[in-house]
Amino acid sequence: MTAMTCIKSRIMPLRSCEDIVCLRQTTRSWMVEPRFTLVEQTKMMTATSELARNAVNYGGGGSATLELLEENGRTGIRVVVEDQGPGIADMEQAMSDNFSTGQGMGLGLGGAKRLVNEFEIRSEPGKGTVVSITRWK
């Protein structure tokens, strides 16, 4: 078994709509060279946008760490979105398809999870939320 290697990484602020757009554009550009398909790019950018928008709108802002990964001859893109907002009180409800605050893209966390290969979330009320998503080529 080969260890996972981080080829490059970048930390980006998430404080505004402009920051969300910049994260989307950077995610897409990092997916072009390893030849992720347009569908793979779109799925990752959509999930990334949903998480970033949650951090900005509900978490009071935060940051995103973008990583280009290599493991066992495959390439991956990981985005970790972190905020220090109020956290998620009811994770089961937040992950359900019919839960909406009415302001997002309508995807929610459950929708973002379905668009990626790996999804992890940690949240503690009063301490914020960290969501990690990865898409493998």
- Encode pLDDT of 58-108 as tens digits: 899 999 999 999 999 999 999 999 999 998 887 777 777 655 555 555 568
Stretch (H or E) spanning 24: helix 17-32
pLDDT band for 44, please (50, 70, 90 cuts).
Answer: very high
Domain total of the chain: 1
Give me the domain span that covers residue 27. 5-136
Stretch (H or E) spanning 132: strand 128-136
pLDDT band for 23, please (50, 70, 90 cuts).
Answer: very high
Q: Residue 120 belongs to a domain with what CATH number?
A: 3.30.565.10
Q: Which residue has the higher pLDDT, 20 or 4?
A: 20
Among 116, 115, 123, which Cα is nearest to 93's? 123
Mean of the per-residue pLDDT values of the chain: 89
45 in Cβ contact with 39 (< 8 Å): no
Distance CA(129)–CA(53), nearest Å, equals 13
